[in-house]
Amino acid sequence: MQLKIMATRICRHTAVDSWQLFHSHLDEARRTKIENCLQKNQQQRMIVGDILLQYVLRHELHREENRRPSVLYSPLGKPSLRDWPDLAFNISHSGEWVAIVFASCEVGIDVEKQDSRIFKLEACILSPSEQREYRAISSREAFLCERWAMKESFVKLIGVGLGYPFAKVSFHEFSASEAVTFYEYKCYFCKTYLLETLSGNKPYHVAVCSETYNFPDELTILPFDNLIRWARGATKHG
């Protein structure tokens, strides 16, 4: 199957009853884990990630209705679906955006907001060959942020944990938005996308890594109101 990539932008003015509606779709263990997160914005992103997972499974992939997905985690945090081992997925969120990818092979996704603070991480992000490329361009902030997203999506794909040294990973571009890397004698593909901010300033960079080259040209944007309406309808029919 072609990769299914979807993103939604959280509305800052979402009513309390909509968040309560989302809560009703979570099991007790997940609610407890989310509530243990001290930052409200992070709680909201985690909730939306869970609802987006359910939405894509039911509405887009037509998996069994009225069945809350059971997510398993590896010791290093890589998620998988207990009831649908044929499907791999990954979720990422940053700022106002939450994104998810589904595939029939191993995948990883990362969303990063472009920010000048990324400069202090240059040595941690770039391999020696990438540093040479970096020094030859003018759009360094965008390049660094995009590479950060690419490296994180790759590390999430292979499931080695985010402590893996990004500078050991080197991407080789074959188009403006596509690249490959190699790990343990295997080739992995990466495609990048851009998401706009509400203020229209610096964008968010989305990177998706996959074992196969089967990316859509564009990711799908799901309006947040549509996600709320779906959750409300799923509650009525659940």
> What is the Cα 127 distance to its own chain's centre?
23
Looking from the CA of 222 toward its CB, the CA atoms found within 13 Å total 25
- What is the tens place of the pLDDT at every residue in 41-98? 999 999 999 999 999 999 999 987 667 899 999 999 999 999 999 999 999 999 999 9
**DSSP codes joined into one string, 120-132:** GGHHHH--HHHHH
CA torsion sign for 79, 81, 85, 87 is negative
User: How many structural domains are present in the chain?
Assistant: 1
List CB contacts of 74: < 8 A, sequence separation 6 or more: 80, 159
For residue 137, what is the domain's CATH number? 3.90.470.20
Q: Which domain holds residue 144?
A: 4-237
- In the prediction, which pLDDT does 65 show? 66
Please name the residue that has the structure tokens 């794909």: 157
